[in-house]
A and B are shown apart, each in its own frame.
Chain A
Amino acid sequence: MLLAVGVTGVASYDLASFFSRKFVALGITGVDIHKLERPTIPEMGGLSILLAVSLGSTILMALDGDRSFLFLTAVSTVSLTGLIGVLDDKFELRQRDKTVLIAAASALLSLSLAGRGSIWFPVIGTVPFGILYPLLVVPIAITTSANMSNMLAGFNGLEVGIAAIGVGVMTFLSAVTGSTDGALLGAILLFAYLGFLVLNWYPAKIFPGDTGTLMFGAGIAAIGLISHLEIAAIVLLMPAALDFALKLMSKKPFGQRKVYGNTKVNPDGTLAPANYPALVHAFMRVAPTKERTLVVWILVMEGLYAILAVAVTLVHI
């Protein structure tokens, strides 16, 4: 296990480093619009996370013959979602197509969770979903989580930092509740994101792209489903859910930047928000905020929700 996660972390860092050089030469780059100098940065770096997760999972399954069909299907769902992210980075898929493709990617996980039927909710208690669990709950959970994670993004270290906190907490809770499959998948994802974060932290040398953001949303949901930690996963996604709820108010919820433009940078380096509701814009509005401060505060927010997720889960068990 230690070998698999170690290789995953090192591979993620090394591949990101390699891609950051290669993608510049290939022209797979974007402008870092939140800096005065507007540097050109390689994009689609999430590909290194996807490859590292595939490598780590393969090593784990080769060394440990006890890994179940459940683990395999969860890894497949996360990896397929990452591949959809690659397509999205390359061809800018329509929101509707992306949603359908991610729902299809969760089919194998639905199959392996066919016997599962209930979810525990605070106050409400255990709710029997029956056949709706594999048919509706699993695809909706993976699709919603992946898409919401994809929307709260775009600043150095933000999405990868949220991924590290979220996946880290899900890994811990899976281990505490005795879900080996969830803990192992979480550990592999965690080290893949930590390896990438070294190069993505402010000032970023590579962007994760939709490959990295879609995959961590799917990862948190997949761990939540296989470890029976659905509520913890929901709590960890609350900052992304808040951002999503705010964006739904605007004219084009999935394409505001085309309508309202991007966040601008003031001469003093502080950020000026575009005129539509979003979580990052809330922080920019209430006080002069530079990119790094913004990212740190949203990570603090994610950290508080992580504490709540741990508390709710530990009280339940």
Chain B
Amino acid sequence: MNPSAARASLLALSFVVLLVSGLVTTVVWRFLAPLDPLPRAMLSLLTFVAAYYAGANLIFWKAVIRISPSSSSSHPRQN
């Protein structure tokens, strides 16, 4: 991939992660409608944080490994 296109795709991917996290949070927010506003908001915010964390690793970093010209030894978790 062209270097500029590869870098631009990272910018786009970061927005995809944000968008997906926002969508998941919206679904959870609607699902929690019976709750009072504060617990509903707190649970929704926790959902956003968890979704963003998952998205960063499962969408963004996996895509980085795919795009990377040398994708060996690039698993994020090291022991």
Task: Point out residues on A near B: beta carbons under 8 Å.
Answer: 121-124, 127-130, 132, 238-239, 241-242, 245-246, 248-251, 259-260, 275-277, 282-283, 285-289, 297, 300-301, 304
Contacts and interface: CB of A to CB of B under 8 A. Distances in A.
A33 B68 CA distance: 23
A287 B7 CA distance: 7
Contact of A286 (B10, B22, B29, B38): B10
B44 to A, nearest CB: 6
Sorting the interface of chain B by its residue count into under 10, 10 to 19, 20 to 34 or 35 or more gives 35 or more
B11 interface: yes
Given A130-B38, A286-B67, 14 more contacts: A128-B38, A129-B38, A132-B38, A246-B76, A250-B76, A275-B74, A275-B78, A282-B64, A286-B64, A287-B6, A289-B7, A297-B11, A301-B10, A304-B11
Nearest to A234: B48
Contacts of A304: 11, 15
B78 A286 contact: no
A242 B6 contact: no
A249 B54 CA distance: 10
Nearest to A297: B7
B37 interface: yes
A242 B17 contact: yes
B3 A246 contact: no
Nearest to A303: B11
Contacts, number: 99
Interface string B24-57: 0110010000000110010010000000110011
B76 A276 contact: yes
A250 B68 contact: no
Nearest to B77: A249
Contacts of A250: 76-78
B56 A301 contact: no
Contacts of A121: 41
7 contacts: A246-B56, A275-B78, A286-B6, A286-B67, A286-B69, A297-B7, A301-B14
B76 A277 contact: yes
Contacts of A251: 77-79
A166 to B, nearest CB: 16
A132 B65 CA distance: 41
Contacts of B14: 238-239, 242, 301
